Amino acid sequence: MTMLPRTTRLAPSPTGDLHLGNARSLLLCWALARSEGWKVILRIEDLDGSRCDPRWEQRIIAGMRWLGLDWDGPVRRQSEDRERYAEAMRTFDVEDRIFTCPRTRRELQAAAEAAGAPHESGRNTVSTAEMRPEDPGRFTFAPGSGNHRLKIEPGTVRVRDLLTGEHDFDLASRFGDPIVWTRDDRPAYQLAVVVDDLEQGITDVVRGIDLLPSAGLQQEIAKLLGGGLPKWWHLPLLLDPEGRRLAKRDGDDTLGAFQEQGIPPERVIGLLARTCEMQEDAKPMSAREFVEGFDVEHFRKWVRRSAAAGGDRLRATDTTDLMEDP
């Protein structure tokens, strides 16, 4: 029997230029893979046509190359072959796990408010089991006929993360019955990511800790599709000096902007290496040097400290220091 190589993926969504936090997660995923001899796939998660733009895809790929990251084989785009996602929907259909949701998000919100549910602004209202259509008859996958939701049964799911330990998630209360195929006729992220991870033989998922709860849902979806689970490595987030999450944007502190301003990529990597305690100062280094200095045990210890502190803050002078003449 031949052993398949361990495989990870770089999976950016082309919804904006990469900021330092995105760059750090991609760099760490790549460095871990390269230092362990894993295969790396580049997958562009471009299904959401209203938010994705090929212009961003070009910027992101150029930015990753500029940093010195590489990958094995051709770039995969989720938009290129949607049939495999439809196939997964048919599996759920056979299992009677999907239904077409008659309600829009706004209607759900109104129903939740009418029921006295505390309104948390910015958080999507979940569609609970009580909100499933009353008619218990079977629904079939009919793209374009409305949001298709996956029925989530009550109970907790345990995610074993190799960096941050074990976490239990109550999927029904966190996600309700999540949308797996949208009313504008496209597979939703939670479905597409699992189908691709299974199909592309992803053994190790390395990404930001904001997706940790999603790992619970993705385990459930993988199980329904009869697939195995990847190993999870969730990374602490890089925060701004005030402790806020960085957001994808079109601004002057993105990789594309650094590139255009002629800042050497080694400076960016040197700064990122400092934020993950690989070095005390931001001494410039290449991606290759970052891999050479990468030590999994040291990495795990840093993640434990950083995750406990809620992430790592950039310093107020970090981006201006990057721009200064050496």
User: Among residues 133, 134, 136, which one has the least CA distance to residue 145?
Assistant: 133
The 10 Å Cβ neighbour count of residue 110 is 13
Applying CB under 6 A, the span of 11-19, 56-64, 105-113, 308-316 interacting with ligand GLU comes to 11-19
Give the nearer residue to ligand GLU in terms of CB position, either 181 or 189.
Answer: 189
Query: Does the protein bind ligand GLU through residue 219 (CB under 6 A)?
Result: no
User: What is the pattern of x (binds ligand GLU, CB under 6 A) and - over residues 135-174?
Assistant: ----------------------------------------
Which residues fall within 8 angstroms of residue 194, CB to CB, at 6 or more apart?
A: 88, 218, 221, 222, 225, 227
Give the nearer residue to ligand GLU in terms of CB position, either 76 or 207.
Answer: 207
Query: Does the protein bind ligand GLU through residue 7 (CB under 6 A)?
Result: no
Shortest Å distance, C-beta 273 to ligand GLU = 22
Pairing of strands 147-150, 98-101: antiparallel
Figure out which of the listed residues 77, 79, 84, 211 binds ligand GLU, where binding follows CB under 6 A. Answer: 211
Looking at the chain, list the stretches that DSSP marks H as alpha helix, in order from N- to C-terminal side. 20-36, 54-67, 83-94, 105-114, 171-175, 189-199, 212-224, 255-260, 265-275, 287-292, 296-308, 318-323
Query: Does the protein bind ligand GLU through residue 217 (CB under 6 A)?
Result: no
**Subset of 40-99 contacting ligand GLU (CB under 6 A):** 45
DSSP string, 186-247: -B-HHHHHHHHHHHTT--EEEEEGGGHHHHHHHHHHHHHTT--PPEEEEEPPEE-TTSPBP-
Query: Does the protein bind ligand GLU through residue 20 (CB under 6 A)?
Result: no
Figure out which of the listed residues 7, 8, 12, 270 binds ligand GLU, where binding follows CB under 6 A. Answer: 12
Query: Does the protein bind ligand GLU through residue 193 (CB under 6 A)?
Result: yes
Q: Give the residues lining the site for ligand GLU (CB under 6 A).
A: 11-13, 45, 193, 207, 211
